[in-house]
Structure 1
Amino acid sequence: MDLEAEFTTEPFRAEAGGEPPAHAAQAAEQARKSGLDTTFGPLGTTVRGSSDQVLDALPEIFRAALAGGATRVTLRLGVPGGEDSAPAGIGSLERVIAEVEAELGGSLSSLSRADKQRAVRLLEERGAFEMRRSVPAVAEALGVTRFTVYNYLNRSGS
């Protein structure tokens, strides 16, 4: 049986030059060294492999994250395509954010206030806010507070 693990490491701050934090990069590198199919992004890392391969690799991945300065590691573990997967067509939050960034022509944090509001509307239309812990992750990507994201969501619903 195959497994998919999606994990985030915190804190969510970028290093100088916009590089991902060391704890995130080190965790992803350990996943690759373990031979897992690894997708690394600004909001999390997804790994896939056989159940034994994934379960055996997770402790070392988490050790690498903690050694790199992570204060928290959050894990979602499941069978690809299982009930816990995102609804069909939505994909991971990271992917949806990347699509919106491409559509709007820049990183979410570099957008004007009006374009950030538009980005939140687009993310909502694509189901991003149906995913667990999406509001804090979107707030981080936008460079705003969670309260601001909720305000944007309330405006788009009016």
Structure 2
Amino acid sequence: MTADPVAGRDRVDPAHPLLVAVAPLLDRVGAELVAPERITPSDVPLVWEGETVAGVRLPDPPGETPSEAVGDLGRLLADLATELGAPLRDLPRPQKQRAVRLLEERGAFTYRKSAETVAEALNVSRFTVYNYLNRNRG
């Protein structure tokens, strides 16, 4: 069980009773804990007495992209991750900007709800994807 290393922001307390209780399950399924501020729509929030203490990020099945990314857009995202040599969510910001530029060149933003899907794959907000697109066009 690991937490996203986000310097100065990682608020996951591995000694929290809920996290101690689910640790064996997370290890068994290969999931990881993420700090509450890093939770994405595909993560499962863990709430204890009304407070989100962490999120669970489940691994993608081998050879598949995030569940929201289906069909041709999913293939574009998977191919781009292979081309760039890392999961899209793990890329530094300049590489994420490059990824958006490449996706636009390849027609990724012609698909319905593509900005949301790309945002999830990059682990950024939809607003950030639009900013990257505007930067590329301007």
TM-score band, normalised by shorter chain: 0.5 to 0.7
Kindly tell me the number of residue pairs found equivalent between the two proteins.
87
Structure 1 40/102 Cα, relative in aligned 2: closer, same or farther at 3 Å? Answer: closer
Structure 1 93/45 Cα, relative in aligned 2: closer, same or farther at 3 Å? Answer: closer
Find out whether 1:97 has 2:127 as its counterpart.
no
Find out whether 1:19 has 2:43 as its counterpart.
no
Contact (CA 8 Å) 1:117, 1:152: kept in 2 or not?
yes
Structure 1 114/93 Cα, relative in aligned 2: closer, same or farther at 3 Å? Answer: same
Superposed, 1:39-54 pairs within 5 Å as 41-44=65-68
- The structural deviation recorded for 1:19 is 1.9
- The structural deviation recorded for 1:45 is 7.7
Structure 1 18/153 Cα, relative in aligned 2: closer, same or farther at 3 Å? Answer: same
For residue 100 of structure 2, the aligned residue among 100, 120, 129 is: 120
Contact (CA 8 Å) 2:100, 2:133: kept in 1 or not?
yes
Question: Could you report, residue by residue, the CA deviation over 1:68-89 in whole angstroms, capped at 9, with x for unpaired residues?
Answer: xxxxxxxxxxxxxxxxxxxxxx
Find out whether 1:150 has 2:130 as its counterpart.
yes
Residue 11 of structure 2 aligns with which residue?
A: none
Question: Could you report, residue by residue, the CA deviation over 1:74-111 in whole angstroms, capped at 9, with x for unpaired residues?
Answer: xxxxxxxxxxxxxxxxx611100011111111011100
Contact (CA 8 Å) 1:135, 1:149: kept in 2 or not?
yes
Q: TM-score, normalised by structure 1?
A: 0.48
5+ residue gaps, structure 1: 1-10, 26-38, 47-90
Higher strand share: 1
Give 1:146's aligned amino acid: R
- The structural deviation recorded for 1:18 is 3.8
Alpha carbon RMSD of aligned pairs, Å? Answer: 2.6
Question: Could you report, residue by residue, the CA deviation over 1:30-85 in whole angstroms, capped at 9, with x for unpaired residues?
Answer: xxxxxxxxx96413486xxxxxxxxxxxxxxxxxxxxxxxxxxxxxxxxxxxxxxx
Please list every run of at least 4 consecutive aligned residues from structure 1 whose deviation after the TM superposition is greater than 6 angstroms.
Answer: none
